[in-house]
Amino acid sequence: MSQKNIVLGVTGSIASYKAAELTSLLVKRGFSVHVVMTAAATSFIAPLTFQTLSGNPVHVDMFSPPKDWNVEHIGLAQMADLLLIAPATANFIGKIAAGIADDLLSATVLATKAPVVIAPAMNVGMYENKIFQRNMKLLREYGYYFVEPEEGRLACGTAGKGRLADLEKIIKVVENLIFREQDLSGKKVLVTAGPTREPLDPVRFLSNYSSGKMGYALAEEARERGAEVILVSGPTGLSPPPGVKVDFVETAQEMFEAVLNYFPEVDVVVKAAAVADFRPKQVAPEKVKKRGSCMVIELEATPDILFHLGKQKNKQILVGFAAETENLLENAREKLREKNLDLLVANDLKQEGAGFQVDTNIATILYPDGGVLRLPKMTKKELARVIFDEVVKLIKLREKEGDR
Ligand code: CTP
């Protein structure tokens, strides 16, 4: 395996010294590490430390005499298999979000096509500041990866979120990105996630316990494997994965319209959303008053989105989910057939560690030919990986058949 180049950007923070340990750990894992420091970082730690630990020259000044024919920031931007900024200050993140490139590191970030991983470190007040949060959100949407800081005692004497993430955690993100096979590259994947809300009146709605965790994990997985991902999401409290286009919807009808709009252009659809099957027939224009001791709400069916897609599909691979509380296989098989799916992921909501809200799932994958793959309890991210492994197998099979 050829050695992978990591350009490590170090900005001026009290956590700058941790970047020395990070350099050493990355070198031990076999990476070639090329450190770029901001001028402020050199006030906290000497370039010589990084030079010694990485065995490579350390870059600080954009205008130092070139050592070879490359313009320095372009050279670094091109040679990077990944650019890691750790620690990244609020100031530096603000600069990238604004497109400012007034030093070697920010110019390298702007010029690179490699994945960029940012590990922020700062005071909790700065971290919680709306401007910083907006910058982080924007960069996430543009495809930058963040390793969020941890909670704990901060150098400024306060406690809270802002401490540079654990170095092993940062390295895990880096390794995951560098060594992930891009087997969904060139494919467009649509994922739906979360619950829908069906309004009753201006202050009430019908919904379900779906947290959106499974769908968000699927979107993140597809993105990491190189797909262009559209996430149509009902209301959740989750932050969208980096590099994923998100379309927020509320009702089943809105989800239906959004999904149908994207459907012709996508290769794969994974419908993890828990769509309400019924909605109040009448939505009261004003708050419904408490009168009498009981109330009857008339409901009407919402469109079954997946059923419509199953009827319309041509090239697309359709993956459905089935949430069951009894007769899992029987019910799931029926859904697979009725909705004309290519895969169905069934989970028994009654099993502990499966279904809504939790971080794990216990799933059974069903195939149209009657095949069944029973999976053990695993995290939703791991399940997302298994699901896309199966999707990739299907894509390859179809491409092979297409070649014949
Ligand atoms: N689904 C959908 N549109 C709906 C209802 C469900 O697209 N109006 C999709 C879900 O996203 C999921 C699959 O259909 O991928 C199965 O959802 P589930 O709630 O398990 O089943 P239903 O078809 O709603 O059937 P039932 O409620 O009778 O189990």
345 lines ligand 1 (CB under 6 A): no
Q: What is the pLDDT of residue 126?
A: 95
Q: Are 117 and 213 contained in the same domain?
A: no
Atom of ligand 1 nearest to the CA of 305: 7
Are residue 147 and residue 209 in the same domain, yes or no?
no
Q: Is 265 in the pocket of ligand 1 (CB under 6 A)?
A: no
Q: Are 213 and 241 members of one domain?
A: yes
Please state, in angstroms and as integers, the Cα–Cα distance from residue 100 to each residue in 39, 79, 137, 147, following that order.
16, 21, 17, 22
- Residue 404 burial (10 A CB sphere; 0-12, 13-18, 19+): exposed
Taking residue 23's Cβ as centre, other Cβ atoms within 10 Å add up to: 27
Query: What is the maximum alpha-carbon separation in the chain?
Result: 85
Ligand 1 pocket, 190 CB below 6 A? Answer: no
* Domain co-membership, 196 together with 336: yes
> N- to C-terminal Cα distance for the chain?
33
CA-closest residue to ligand 1 atom 8: 304
Per-residue confidence in pLDDT tens, the chain, 404 aa: 579 999 999 999 999 999 999 999 999 999 999 999 999 999 999 999 999 999 999 999 766 655 554 566 788 999 999 999 999 999 999 999 999 999 999 999 999 999 999 999 999 999 999 999 999 989 987 889 999 999 888 777 778 889 999 999 999 999 988 988 889 999 999 999 999 999 999 999 999 999 999 999 999 999 989 999 999 999 999 988 878 899 999 999 999 999 999 999 999 999 999 999 999 999 999 999 988 899 999 999 999 999 999 999 999 999 999 988 899 999 999 999 999 999 999 998 888 888 787 888 899 999 999 999 999 999 999 999 999 999 999 999 999 888 77
**At 52, which CATH number?**
3.40.50.1950
Do 175 and 192 belong together in one domain?
no
* Domain identity same for 95 and 199: no
Whether 275 lines ligand 1, by a CB cut-off of 6 Å, is: yes
Q: Which residues pair with 363 in a beta bridge?
A: 347
Q: Which of 335, 340, 345 to mutate to test the pocket of ligand 1 (most atoms within 8 A of CB)?
A: 335
- CA-nearest residue for atom 17, ligand 1, is 322
Residue 339 sits in a domain whose CATH number is 3.40.50.10300
What's the 37 CA to ligand 1 centre distance in angstroms?
Answer: 52
Q: Which one of 191, 253, 304, 344 would you pick to mutate in the ligand 1 pocket, going by the greatest count of ligand atoms within 8 A of its CB? A: 304
141 with 290, same domain: the answer is no
Q: Model's pTM, two decimal places? A: 0.79
Residues 111 and 198 grouped into a single domain: no
Tokens read off for 356: 């809504």
Distance of alpha carbon 217 from the chain centroid = 6
CB of 320 shorter than 6 A to ligand 1? yes
Helices marked H in 7-79 — which ranges? Answer: 18-28, 41-44, 47-54, 72-79
Helix axis angle for 167-179 and 18-28, nearest 10°, is 40
Is there a single domain that holds both residue 121 and residue 261?
no
The kind and range of the H/E element at 270 are strand 268-271
Ligand 1 centroid–CA 1 distance in Å is 45
Return left, alpha or beta for 335; rule: phi > 0 is left, psi -120 to 50 is alpha, else beta. Answer: alpha
321 C-beta closer than 6 A to ligand 1 = yes
My answer on whether 205 and 90 are in the same domain is no
**Of 138, 160, 179, which closes a domain?**
179
Is the peptide bond between 87 and the residue preceding it cis, with omega within 30 degrees of 0? yes
Q: Whose CA is nearest to atom 20 of ligand 1?
A: 322
Residue tagged active-site, from 79, 156, 283, 378: 156
In degrees and rounded to multiples of 5, residue 335 shows phi and psi of -65, -40
pLDDT of residue 167: 97
Amino acid occupying residue 339: K
Euclidean distance between CA atoms 339 and 317, whole angstroms: 12
Contact of 382 with 361, CB cutoff 8 Å = no
Which residue in the block uniquely carries the two structure tokens 């989970």?
Answer: 347
Q: Annotated catalytic, 156?
A: yes
Number of domains in the chain: 2
Residue 68 has a pLDDT of 53
Which of 101, 99, 94 lies closest to 135 in space, CA to CA? Answer: 94
Tell me how far the alpha carbon of residue 13 lies from the centroid of ligand 1, in angstroms.
50
Same domain, 352 and 208: yes
Q: What is the separation of C-alpha 305 from the centre of its chain, rounded to a whole number of angstroms?
A: 24
Query: Judging by DSSP bridges, how do beta strands 360-361 and 82-88 pair with one another?
Result: unpaired
Q: Phi then psi for 291, rounded to 5 degrees? A: -135, 135
Instruction: State whether 170 and 127 are in the same domain.
Output: yes
Considering 153, 179, 205, which residue would you say is the last residue of a domain? Answer: 179
Q: Are 65 and 40 in contact (CB under 8 A)?
A: no
Instruction: Check if 73 has its Cβ closer than 6 Å to any atom of ligand 1.
Output: no
- Give the range of the structural domain holding residue 194, as residue numbers without chain letter: 188-402
Domain end position, chosen among 135, 151, 179: 179
34 within ligand 1 shell (Cβ under 6 A): no
* Token output for 206: 């019908």
Alpha-carbon distance of 19 to 167, in angstroms, equals: 9
For residue 258, the CA-to-ligand 1 centroid distance in Å is 17
